[in-house]
């Protein structure tokens, strides 16, 4: 499942980051998003295509293409 498909309020563990874009991959890692980390979907906006998640005691806003490049497993 992609992070972008995670229902609001649901927690998941990151399985892998699938993007081949090194810039996006580096940005996600600098935000604490890496394999094995637990994340929770807080909210999303369809109009802007953004997702707000909590990860590593922080709130993070991701663009649609970033959220779609993160494979997760619900917990």
CB atoms under 10 Å from CB of 52, counted, come to: 15
pLDDT digits (tens, 9 = 90+) for 5-26: 999 999 999 999 998 888 888 8
Q: What's residue 31's pLDDT?
A: 82
| Domain ranges within the chain, ordered by starting residue | 3-74
Q: What's residue 2's pLDDT?
A: 94
CB atoms under 10 Å from CB of 73, counted, come to: 9
Q: Which CA distances in Å does 28 have to 18, 22, 35, 43, 66?
A: 11, 10, 11, 18, 8
Q: What's residue 32's pLDDT?
A: 83
CATH code at 3-74: 2.30.30.90
pLDDT digits (tens, 9 = 90+) for 12-64: 999 999 988 888 888 888 888 889 999 999 998 877 788 999 987 889 899 88
Nearest-angstrom CA–CA distance, 62 and 49 = 9
Question: Looking up tokens 């906006």, which residue turns up?
Answer: 45
């Amino acid at each position: 499942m992609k992070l972008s498909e995670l229902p609001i309020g649901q927690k998941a563990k990151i399985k892998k980051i699938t993007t081949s874009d090194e810039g996006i991959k580096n940005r996600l890692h600098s935000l604490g998003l890496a394999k094995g980390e637990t994340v929770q979907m807080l909210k999303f906006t369809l109009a802007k295509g953004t997702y707000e998640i909590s990860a590593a005691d922080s709130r993070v806003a991701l663009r649609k293409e970033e959220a779609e490049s993160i494979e997760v497993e619900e917990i």
